[in-house]
């Protein structure tokens, strides 16, 4: 999608701090970190959110999940971490390109979730 921030970041058209990249997936540091480690993992193809995952694009979404464990290990999150994907307005999704937040490096509260 031509006007999507994360499409542009994944294509290298907008700078970011990349922590992982392969043919299908791009991962980079969140610009406004909510934890000592806050990485965003996105598919290189445009998928709007979890709601838009379907049989055509599920492999790209699943590739994001496949690489999260390795990124977390490299980031030193051996004590655990949280993976979040906000979907739609009630969840506070602000960028409409599927992304998985990896949050860690701190003991998190028990709420949400
Ligand atoms: P969400 O609110 O779940 O849609 O998450 C969007 C995330 O993207 C937020 O945590 C933002 O801080 C982050 N973000 C927005 N613009 C950038 C950017 N240019 N580089 C890195 N992270 C960004
Ligand atoms: Zn996009």
Asked if pLDDT for residue 112 goes beyond 80, the answer is no
Active site residues: 99
What does pLDDT average to over the chain?
96
Show the tokens assigned to 33.
């970190």
Write out residues with Cβ below 6 Å of ligand 1: 5, 16, 30-32, 40, 86, 92-95
Show the tokens assigned to 54.
């379907």
- Long-range contacts of 20-29, Cβ-Cβ distance < 8 Å, separation of 24 or more: 20/67, 20/70, 20/71, 20/74, 22/63, 22/67, 24/59, 24/60, 24/63, 25/63, 25/64, 25/67, 27/67, 27/71, 27/102
Question: What pLDDT is stored for residue 41 in this prediction?
Answer: 99
Query: Which residue of 12, 40, 86, 99 sits with most ligand 1 atoms within 8 Å of its CB, as the best mutation to test the pocket?
Result: 40
pTM of the model: 0.97
Distance 107 CA to ligand 2 centre (A): 32
Could you read off the pLDDT of 8-46 as tens digits, one per residue?
A: 999 999 999 999 999 999 999 999 999 999 999 999 999
């Amino acid at each position: 999608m031509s006007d999507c921030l994360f499409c542009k970041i994944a294509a290298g058209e907008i700078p970011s701090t990349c922590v992982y990249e392969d043919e299908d997936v791009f991962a980079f540091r969140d610009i406004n970190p909510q934890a000592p480690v806050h990485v965003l993992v996105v598919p290189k193809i445009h998928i709007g959110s979890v709601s838009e995952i379907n049989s055509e694009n599920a492999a790209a979404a699943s590739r994001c999940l496949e690489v999260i464990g390795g990124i977390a290990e490299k980031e030193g999150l051996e004590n655990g971490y949280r993976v979040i994907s906000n979907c739609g307005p009630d969840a506070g999704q602000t960028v409409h390109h599927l992304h998985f937040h990896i949050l860690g490096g701190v003991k998190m509260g028990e709420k949400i979730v």
